[in-house]
Amino acid sequence: MNIYQFLDFLGTFVFAISGVRLAAEKKMDIFGAIIIGFASAIGGGTIRDLLLGATPVAWIQNSGYLYLIVSAVVIGILFDRYIFELKNMLLIFDSIGLGVFTLAGMQKAINYGIDTEYAVILGVTTATAGGIIRDILANEVPLILQKEIYATACFAGAFIYLLLEHFNINYHYNSLITIIFIVVLRTFAVKFNIAFPSLRK
């Protein structure tokens, strides 16, 4: 397993945990927590693969994702109170997941011959669609539609990646720089409550 696959698994794990946490806040039962956890973890990648015609979708081809998500859901249910205390750490891991999934989505789209502009959109979709599904199922306004810096960080990271690629920066260094950029931008925005202004009536 290389570092990028490890980060991909880490992002999947944390996204599943985030789904369980939301399910707990909404006082759902165990089945509800499992559904929300799965939706958070694999929703974005599933939509990406369906749009690309890449079937079976990625998580069905690798049972490791299934076991990872189930483990995350079980841990999230058993240790929800302790996990809540790790809110800042989960934010960092969640941001890593955003960065990894943005890159993974872009790269897969490019490998399928998709134009760069749409590859960026599919990268952001991979990173954020799971959260949208999670929030809708939990009857919440999706985070991506609120003023918080979320999808914007993914778009900015994608731009950085393409810019560095234009200057022929090594792929691995480029990916690492992009992920770090997204993590820093997202956590900095949350930490200091930086957001776009809300629309007024």
- Residue 195, pLDDT score: 77
Mean pLDDT of 50-61: 92
pTM value?
Answer: 0.87
- Residue 92, pLDDT score: 77
* pLDDT over 90 at 159, yes or no: yes
* pLDDT over 90 at 169, yes or no: yes
pLDDT: is 133 or 76 the higher one?
133
Mean pLDDT of 83-94: 70
- Residue 87, pLDDT score: 66
- Residue 86, pLDDT score: 65
- Residue 116, pLDDT score: 94
In one-letter notation, the amino acid at residue 163 is L
Contact 182, 155 (CB under 8 A): no
Q: Summarize pLDDT for 21-54 with one digit per residue, the tens.
A: 888 888 888 888 889 989 999 999 999 999 999 9
* pLDDT over 70 at 160, yes or no: yes
* pLDDT over 80 at 3, yes or no: no
- Residue 8, pLDDT score: 74
Quote the percentage of the chain above a pLDDT of 90: 40
Kindly tell me the burial class for residue 197, based on how many C-beta atoms sit within 10 Å of its own C-beta (0-12, 13-18, 19 or more): exposed
Q: Please, which residues bridge with residue 195 across strands?
A: 148
- Residue 194, pLDDT score: 78
Q: Summarize pLDDT for 92-146 with one digit per residue, the tens.
A: 777 888 988 999 899 889 989 999 999 999 999 999 999 899 999 989 888 777 7
* pLDDT over 70 at 59, yes or no: yes
Segment 189-193 long-range contacts (CB within 8 Å, at least 24 positions apart): 189/148, 189/149, 189/153, 190/91, 190/148, 190/149
The pair of structure tokens assigned to 105 is 């989505």
Contact 87, 18 (CB under 8 A): no
Domain boundaries, the chain: 3-191
